[in-house]
Amino acid sequence: MEELIPMNLLRAGQSAEVSQIQGPIEHVHRLEEFGLCRGAMIQMFRPGNPCIVRMAGNKFCLRSDDLLQILVRRNGHALERG
């Protein structure tokens, strides 16, 4: 099983599964409403800060800071759609 790494360490093209989001409850909830929750499959499109990530067919950019950390587990799965 792959280890947990922060999402912003992913390189372009690498896909992963979201495992945990650490941060203030309200902010985590907001991200989860957006679809970024445990089990979500993502693929890094453009790393950096902010980074651009693909998830289930749509792209979004996300700026992380000291307060917010998204931990993911790398996998080789093709990205899900819909």
**Bond from prior residue into 50 cis (ω within 30 degrees of 0):** yes
Q: Which amino acid is at 66?
A: D
Residue 3 or 33 having the CB closest to another protein: 33
Pick the binder of another protein from 5, 14, 19, 60 (CB under 8 A). Answer: 60
The site map against another protein for 39-58 (x = CB under 8 A) is ----x-xx-xxx-x-x-xxx
Distance separating alpha carbons of residues 74 and 65, to the nearest angstrom: 21
Distance separating alpha carbons of residues 14 and 36, to the nearest angstrom: 17
Structure tokens at 63: 């700026």
Residue 3 or 65 having the CB closest to another protein: 65
Contact between 37 and another protein by CB under 8 A: the answer reads: yes
DSSP tag of 50: S
**Where do contacts with another protein occur on this chain (CB under 8 A)?**
23-27, 29-37, 43, 45-46, 48-50, 52, 54, 56-64, 68, 78-82
